[in-house]
């Protein structure tokens, strides 16, 4: 069952970065990331406007972990200890054996393979330490870089959901991607 992993050590050391649970001390770095309009261009929330909103975001990630409704890792650079992004899973369905992933990275770290390494580790974590069968990702149709990343990680594009959600005051189309345990990628 997936709920047992919330009691485990959740820090994952990778080549370039350390994945670790978000803390209140991360609020300043979260503000730097989530206030950047380019980073938030395809995100389902508006860029942060204040440090207080970053405090609330850190609390939401921490509460999700405490409530066992999500795991959101901070992506911390090994050199310097700076938080440069987050990634994790939420919308956990024990009955349907599925989760949804989400992620973002500071703009000045794009194209360096960091998110590929981080998400690959999370996928391995999900498929080796839980009984989850399906991992989903929803991506706006214009977000080509994110779709390339998911394709590289072995996800399958299952199609476009027309006017699927309201984002930035308009109904938008999103593509749905999945990776199944039986795909054997992880």
The whole-number average pLDDT for the span 138-151 is 97
Domain count, the chain: 1
What is the helix (H) or strand (E) element at residue 39, kind and residue range?
Answer: none
Helices (H), 25-182: 27-34, 51-66, 114-129, 144-152
Distance from chain centroid for Cα 174:
16
pLDDT of residue 123: 97
Tell me the β-bridge partners of 89. 71, 101
- The answer to the question of residue 34 being in a domain is yes
Does residue 183 sit within a domain? no
Find the CATH number of the domain harbouring 44.
Answer: 3.40.630.30
Q: How many CB atoms lie within 10 A of CB 134?
A: 17
pLDDT tens digits, one per residue of 20-30? 999 999 999 99
pTM of the model: 0.94
Identify whether 171 is part of a domain. no
The answer to the question of residue 156 being in a domain is no
Which structural domain range is residue 96 located in?
A: 2-133
pLDDT exceeds 70 at position 1: no
* Residue 158 falls inside a structural domain: no
Task: Give every CB contact of residue 25 below 8 A, 6+ residues apart in sequence.
Answer: none
Q: Identify whether the C-beta of residue 85 lies closer than 8 Å to the C-beta of residue 109.
A: yes
**Mean pLDDT score across all residues of the chain:** 95
- For residue 93, being part of any structural domain is answered with yes
3-state secondary structure at position 126: helix
Would residue 145 count as lying in a domain? Answer: no
pLDDT band at 169 (very low <50, low <70, confident <90, very high): confident
The answer to whether residue 3 scores a pLDDT higher than 80 is no
As beta bridge partners, residue 138 has: 176
Examine residue 170 and state whether it is found in any structural domain, yes or no: no
């Amino acid at each position: 069952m997936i709920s047992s992993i919330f009691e485990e050590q959740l820090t994952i050391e990778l080549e370039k970065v350390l994945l670790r649970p978000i803390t209140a001390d991360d609020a300043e770095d979260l503000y730097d990331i989530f206030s950047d309009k380019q980073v938030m261009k395809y995100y389902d929330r508006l860029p942060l406007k204040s440090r207080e909103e970053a405090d609330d975001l850190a609390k939401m990630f921490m509460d999700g972990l405490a409530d066992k409704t999500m795991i959101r890792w901070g992506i911390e650079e090994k050199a310097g200890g700076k938080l440069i992004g987050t990634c994790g899973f939420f919308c956990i369905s024990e009955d349907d054996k599925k989760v949804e992933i989400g992620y973002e990275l500071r703009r000045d770290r794009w194209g360096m393979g960091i998110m590929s390494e981080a998400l690959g580790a999370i996928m391995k974590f999900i498929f080796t330490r839980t009984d989850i069968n399906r991992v989903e990702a929803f991506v706006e149709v214009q977000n080509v870089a994110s779709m390339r990343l998911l394709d590289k990680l072995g996800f399958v594009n299952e199609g476009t959901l027309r006017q699927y959600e309201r984002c930035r005051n308009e109904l938008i189309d999103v593509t749905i991607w999945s990776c199944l345990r039986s795909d054997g990628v992880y």
